[in-house]
A and B are shown apart, each in its own frame.
Chain A
Amino acid sequence: KQEVTQIPAALSVPEGENLVLNCSFTDSAIYNLQWFRQDPGKGLTSLLLIQSSQREQTSGRLNASLDKSSGRSTLYIAASQPGDSATYLCAGPFSGGYNKLIFGAGTRLAVHP
């Protein structure tokens, strides 16, 4: 059974810090790895999608990497801002999964001024 684990479960940092959120998965047969943001009471907003043939993707202050062999992905947030406060979830579809996503439990991020 595929499992996705996210560390840390929660993080509180002052504004301006650079952050690394970790995601690990047990099955290396992953088609892509997607990072989402979830605000309280809201659905999920897709941030970055890394295809299995890629090693990283960048969007603004966000950079995500994927290492299939070690079963790890990281989301790097540069110069964090209070508006970045949210829960960050990683997920991937695995072989035979019809693109159904297996999610980690998320990292709850709080960035204080």
Chain B
Amino acid sequence: GAGVSQSPRYKVAKRGQDVALRCDPISGHVSLFWYQQALGQGPEFLTYFQNEAQLDKSGLPSDRFFAERPEGSVSTLKIQRTQQEDSAVYLCASSLERTGYNQPQHFGDGTRLSIL
């Protein structure tokens, strides 16, 4: 079916505003990941879901970042009281199986977030 879909593609917000980024994984994929990619760098892990359970949120930079996947499919990454250092591309990835060690991760095109 379709690949991983992220929306919006671009988001501009003023410092202090809250933003919400959406990820639609590939249908049936159990694992979902969020990554943050700064300009010229590789992506860095933020958080991981297995179905609706958030099993690892060790990469979230602060308590202003919150992610959810309430029904085990669509996920939302929310950033409260945005700051300029939050400007980055936010990538979502999904993989088919629970453990996934031999399953590739499939990435969306990302949301480019700019904080003014």
Task: Indicate if B8 sits at the interface (CB-CB under 8 A).
Answer: no
User: In the assembly, what is the distance between CA of A91 and CA of B101, in Å?
Assistant: 12
Identify which of B12-20, B41-49, B63-71, B75-83 touches chain A: B41-49
A residues near B93, Cβ cutoff 8 Å: 44, 101
User: In the assembly, what is the distance between CA of A32 and CA of B102, in Å?
Assistant: 7
Identify which of A14-22, A68-76, A77-85, A103-111 touches chain B: A103-111
User: In the assembly, what is the distance between CA of A42 and CA of B110, in Å?
Assistant: 7
Binary contact readout A5-42 vs B (1 if CB under 8 angstroms, 0 otherwise): 00000000000000000000000000110101000011
Contacting pair B43 A101 (CB below 8 A): yes
**Provided the pairs A46-B104, A46-B105, A49-B104 are in contact, do residues A99 and B45 lie with their beta carbons within 8 angstroms?**
no
Contacting pair B106 A101 (CB below 8 A): no
User: In the assembly, what is the distance between CA of A32 and CA of B45, in Å?
Assistant: 17
Contacting pair A105 B41 (CB below 8 A): yes
Task: Indicate if A63 sits at the interface (CB-CB under 8 A).
Answer: no
Number of interface residues of A (CB under 8 A): 25
Contacting pair A98 B105 (CB below 8 A): no
Contacting pair B91 A43 (CB below 8 A): yes
Contacting pair A32 B4 (CB below 8 A): no
User: In the assembly, what is the distance between CA of A101 and CA of B104, in Å?
Assistant: 10
Task: Indicate if A45 sits at the interface (CB-CB under 8 A).
Answer: yes
B residues near A98, Cβ cutoff 8 Å: 48, 50, 55-56
Interface centre among B59, B99, B102, B112 (most CB of A within 10 A): B102
Task: Indicate if B95 sits at the interface (CB-CB under 8 A).
Answer: yes
A-B contact pairs, 18 of them (CB 8 A): A4-B42, A34-B104, A43-B6, A43-B110, A44-B43, A44-B93, A44-B107, A46-B104, A46-B106, A51-B101, A89-B42, A98-B50, A98-B56, A100-B48, A101-B105, A103-B43, A105-B41, A106-B42
